[in-house]
Amino acid sequence: MRVAVIGAGSWGTAVCWLLGGKGVPVTLWSREPEIAAGINAEHRNPVYLRDVVLPESTYATPDIEEAAAGAEAVVVVTPSHGVRGVAEAMGGSLPTHVPVVNLSKGIEGGSLFRMTQVLEDVLGNRDRLAALSGPNHAEEVSKGVPSATAIAAYDDAVARMFQDLFMSPVFRVYTNPDVIGVELGGASKNVIAVAAGMSDGLGYGDNTKATLMTRGLAEMTRLGAHLGARPLTYMGLAGMGDLIVTCTSRHSRNRALGEWVARGGTVESYTAETQMVAEGARSAKTIDELGAKLGIELPITHQVRSILFDGHLASEAGAVLMGRSAVDEMHGLGLVEDEG
């Protein structure tokens, strides 16, 4: 099976290492021609994960139509705001039966679509689409650190095909039929991780961070349940697992962004300093808008958006959240206590 990997950032590079290690021929699309040239010449990405040696079965190109042509499966690994554009660019080269899995985590601005909804809107044939999400920092996956993830697809055969494609001795893949929950979990946990980083930046303790993570998980579940996700999905790899690693890891861009902002920085200065995209910044806007549209309270998300974009102070958010009226802990989570 020849696979096209669309996106040559850290995650795309890690995917090439993972699949290439299994002998899978990969064509990697890079927006930057110099990255493609560097990979083909040195078998290393000259910008992202520069110490990772890619197998000779990986070929890079700045031509997205070349990458997609003849591919038997496609892995989309661009930032979420770029998914529509790359889908439009490769659409003419991609037959309607070729399965596509999305690894990008976010909600599209304007449409408020999940990423598989964006792909369906551009490419059609929802049944060939899937999403992969879990506690999968590229820095660790690319070094063979044992990791696990979830694959959700609209068609079980597609889920199992991608499960087989990605499964390795160091990367365990579980299937999950809940596409909505897996995608929303991946997008919304980034916002909670920004909040956790703000807590770190303000010098708060473990109690505070654990509270933010737990109530953040409730907030994620409440949104998902309203949109048809299974609440138990949020107890799994694409929910709790991804939330834990993104809120605590030294590799987490979203946690680092929150800490940066709490100490006086801005989204713009963080991006300029690190040359990295923290998806939680964009998701704070889109998920807050989605919650408002649906009439669902997402207090942590709203505070993160207000701090990142509306000039509110991180130091004042704690008092706002702690001063909210008391409710039952399981309020709005869609849980049935007697399910067994």
| Catalytic residue positions, numbered | 189
- Report how far residue 148's alpha carbon sits from residue 158's, in angstroms, rounded to the nearest whole number: 18
Cα gap 27→90, rounded to integer Å = 13
Distance CA 314, CA 198 (A): 7
C-alpha 90/C-alpha 319 separation (Å) is: 48
Residues 6 or more apart whose Cβ sits within 8 Å of residue 298:
219, 222, 223, 287, 288, 291
> Any bridge partners for residue 209, and if so which?
none
Q: Name which of 298, 286, 283 is nearest 331 in CA terms.
A: 298
Strands 100-102 and 58-61: unpaired
DSSP state string for 264-281 = T--HHHHHHHH----HHH
